[in-house]
Structure 1
């Protein structure tokens, strides 16, 4: 059985700003982008060779709300301390500061940041499993 590929997709009002957060801030690559695909523009970010990526779309003439709660999280496990420090530094370089997690568990070995749409990203300095 082949491995599935996970794509997390969500709308945004500002593709460039949110793509910059994930590429310049977190070091992801732009894997693909599209314009006016049946009324949608989009960008797909991630890391080449990984079985996951994130897609941000904007439907023409539609405004979407920011994240509905502070518990809508994307958690990135970065067990290598240098890689974790680089991700934190990348976000700081964009002027993004950490926020306190709603669930204090994430503050024990990580930092939480909000992307431009208010969705939270946890950079967890630990291994999964």
Structure 2
């Protein structure tokens, strides 16, 4: 099974810059003016999932609460520390998560649309499962 998480945005270029240049994903593809939508596919090559971000003349209406989060687990602690250091260097602020687990096991940031993203060491997910 392949997973695609699709979301509409009002600023496709800003979203692409954030997910590619800040978080380190790749642009896997794009399309222009397909039924009045333009979009990009963001993810990692060779995996069975990706994000699709679209933009059109219709304004995006983002409705979410503080527990709606995307969780990213870098595979190695060095990857986690490198990403956190990059966020600090780029002056991307962390925010407090509503769920205390994420405050204890990672850092929460927001993407340009305001969606919350948790970056957590892989050891946190292993301890959840065990």
Q: Please report the TM-score for the alignment, with normalisation by the length of structure 1.
A: 0.89
Equivalent residue number for residue 121 of structure 2? 125
1:116 counterpart = 2:96: no
Structure 1: distance between partners of 2:103 and 2:78:
18
Q: Match for 1:42 among 39, 42, 50?
A: 39
Task: Tell me the alpha carbon deviations over residues 46-102 of structure 1, each in whole angstroms, 9 at most, x when there is no partner.
Answer: 11011211110012x211123421221101122411111122233334431111101
The number of residues matched between the two structures is 125
Q: Equivalent residue of 2:84, what SS?
A: helix
1:11 counterpart = 2:44: no
Equivalent residue number for residue 81 of structure 2? 85
Structure 2: distance between partners of 1:123 and 1:29:
17
Q: Which has the higher contact order (CA 8 A, sep 6+)?
A: 1
Structure 2: distance between partners of 1:17 and 1:94:
15
User: Please, which runs of 5 or more residues in structure 2 have no aligned partner?
Assistant: none
User: Please, which runs of 5 or more residues in structure 1 have no aligned partner?
Assistant: none
1:104 counterpart = 2:96: no
Q: Equivalent residue of 1:85, what SS?
A: helix
More helix by share: 2
Structure 2: distance between partners of 1:82 and 1:116:
26
